């Protein structure tokens, strides 16, 4: 129990009201819900495009020994990627303005709220939104016939885990960002992950580069979601989940420490 607690950074342990931060986000998006709704379409477009376009050109692919059509193969990867993209957006763009420009967090910290509340609250919001997207995306996958197992439901917690890993690392990263121009670099991190995480073709296609897949956090996410929606899970999912959890806590440590230094100096 004590060891389990020690994984959690000290300022996070003192958090008492992170839910207030989420309440604030709900208040903001109550008026701009259209932004949230529209965010759902991008992965859906990718899914449709795969189905009508590339799917016809590619044909069938094999996943963990099971042969499936290309859309079934790519759909879970798109689901995982959209969990990553959403979490990165929520924890970087969305946080940066409040951190550097509007000074929202300075105002929050003048109340009984602490750094832990801010950190957990913002990550929590990213996860909540991720949960919403994952659920709707899964529904779309079912309607497009790209789900083949009741285990597909496990794809939702898998996406939340992906969101947790990327949101906390995004939060850590945003504390190093100086200006809006720096956001031009965010795709440098997310795009290679998106393209090279066994997203669009099986890990076997990577040949001698295959071991490199292991360092891509999205690869672990894709593997988790894909084994859920295609119903081909095995013990390897434990390894993938551990990787993402470790990444989440790493981000939590760095992020909360950096925020503490930036806001309470």
Partner 1 sequence: MPSTIDRISASTSRTPSRRAIGRTWHHALHVVEWQLMAFRAVWRSSVLTSFVQPLMYVAGMGLGVGALVNRNASSTSALGGVRYVTYLAPGLLATTAMMVASMECMWPVLAGFKWQRTFHAMVASPLEPADIVLGEAIYVGLRSLLSAAAVAVALTIFPATRSSGLLLAVPFAGLCGLAFGMPIAAYAATRERDSAFPAMQRFVITPLFLFGGAFYPLKQLPVAAQALAKFAPLWHGVELCRAATLHRLQIGTAAVHVAYLLMWIAVGLVATVHSFRKKLLI
Partner 2 sequence: MGDQPIVARGLTKLFGDFTAVDGIDFQIERGEAFGFLGPNGAGKSSTMRMIGCVSPRTSGDLSIFGLDPSNDAAAIKARLGVVAQQDNLDEQLTVVENLVIYGRYFDLSRAEAKRRAAELLEFVQLTERSKSQVETLSGGMKRRLTIARSLINQPEVVLLDEPTTGLDPQARHILWDRLYRLKQQGVTLVLTTHYMDEAEQLCDRLVVMDGGRIVAEGSPRSLIDDHSSKDVVELRFEADQNEASAPALHGIGERMEVLPDRLLIYASDGEAALQEAHARGARPQSALVRRSTLEDVFLRLTGRNLVD
With helix as H, strand as E and coil as C, how does 237-249 read? HHHHHHHHHHHHH
Residues 6 or more apart from 244 whose CB is under 8 A from it?
161, 162, 164, 165, 217, 220, 221, 224
Least distance from partner 2 to the Cβ atom of residue 105, Å: 9
Considering only CA atoms, which of 197, 79, 193, 198 is closest in space to residue 144?
A: 79
Residues 6 or more apart from 172 whose CB is under 8 A from it?
250, 251, 252, 254, 255, 258
Cα–Cα distance, 113 to 107 (Å, whole number): 10
How many CB atoms are located within 10 Å of the residue 5 CB?
8
Stretch that binds partner 1, among 1-9, 30-38, 102-110, 225-233 (CB under 8 A): 30-38
Q: Check residue 9 and report its DSSP letter.
A: -
Our finding on whether 201 is near partner 1 (CB under 8 A) is yes
Q: Among residues 10 and 202, whose Cβ is nearest to partner 1? A: 202
Our finding on whether 65 is near partner 1 (CB under 8 A) is no
Our finding on whether 261 is near partner 2 (CB under 8 A) is no
Q: Check residue 102 and report its DSSP letter.
A: S
Among 114, 170, 221, 251, binds partner 2 (CB under 8 A): 114
Site for partner 2 in 18-37 (CB under 8 A): 20, 23-24, 27-28
Our finding on whether 100 is near partner 2 (CB under 8 A) is no
Our finding on whether 42 is near partner 1 (CB under 8 A) is yes
Among 21, 70, 174, 216, binds partner 1 (CB under 8 A): 70
Among 20, 153, 157, 196, binds partner 1 (CB under 8 A): 196
Contact predicate 146/71, CB 8 Å: yes
Least distance from partner 2 to the Cβ atom of residue 12, Å: 15
Among 112, 145, 192, 239, binds partner 1 (CB under 8 A): 192
H or E element: which one contains 67? strand 66-69
Binding site for partner 1 (CB under 8 A): 32, 34-35, 38-39, 41-42, 45-46, 48-49, 52-54, 56-59, 61, 70, 181, 184-185, 187-188, 191-192, 195-196, 200-201, 205
Binding site for partner 2 (CB under 8 A): 16-17, 20, 23-24, 27-28, 102-104, 106-114, 263-265
């Amino acid at each position: 129990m004590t060891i389990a607690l020690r994984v959690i950074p000290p300022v996070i342990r003192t958090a008492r009201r992170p839910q207030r931060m989420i309440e604030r986000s709900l208040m903001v998006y109550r008026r701009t819900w259209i932004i949230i709704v529209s965010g759902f379409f991008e992965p859906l477009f990718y899914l449709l495009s795969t189905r009508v376009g590339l799917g016809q050109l590619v044909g069938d692919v094999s996943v963990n020994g099971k042969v499936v059509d290309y859309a079934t193969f790519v759909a879970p990867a798109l689901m995982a990627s959209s969990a990553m993209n959403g979490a990165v957006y929520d924890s970087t763009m969305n946080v940066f303005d409040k951190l550097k420009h509007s000074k929202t967090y300075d105002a929050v910290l003048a109340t009984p709220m602490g750094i832990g509340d801010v950190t957990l609250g913002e990550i929590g919001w990213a996860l909540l939104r991720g949960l919403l997207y994952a659920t709707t995306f899964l529904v779309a996958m079912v309607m497009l016939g790209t789900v083949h197992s009741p285990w597909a439901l496990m794809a939702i917690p898998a996406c939340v885990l992906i969101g947790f890993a990327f949101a906390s690392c995004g939060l850590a990263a945003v504390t190093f960002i100086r200006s809006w121009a720096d956001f031009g670099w965010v795709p440098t991190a997310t795009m290679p992950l998106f393209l090279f995480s066994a997203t669009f073709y099986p890990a076997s296609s990577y040949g001698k580069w295959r071991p490199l897949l292991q360092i891509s956090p999205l690869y672990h996410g894709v593997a988790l979601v894909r084994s859920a929606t295609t119903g081909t899970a095995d013990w390897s999912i434990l390894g993938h989940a551990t990787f993402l959890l470790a990444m989440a806590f790493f981000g939590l440590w760095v992020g909360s420490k950096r925020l503490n230094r930036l806001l309470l100096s």
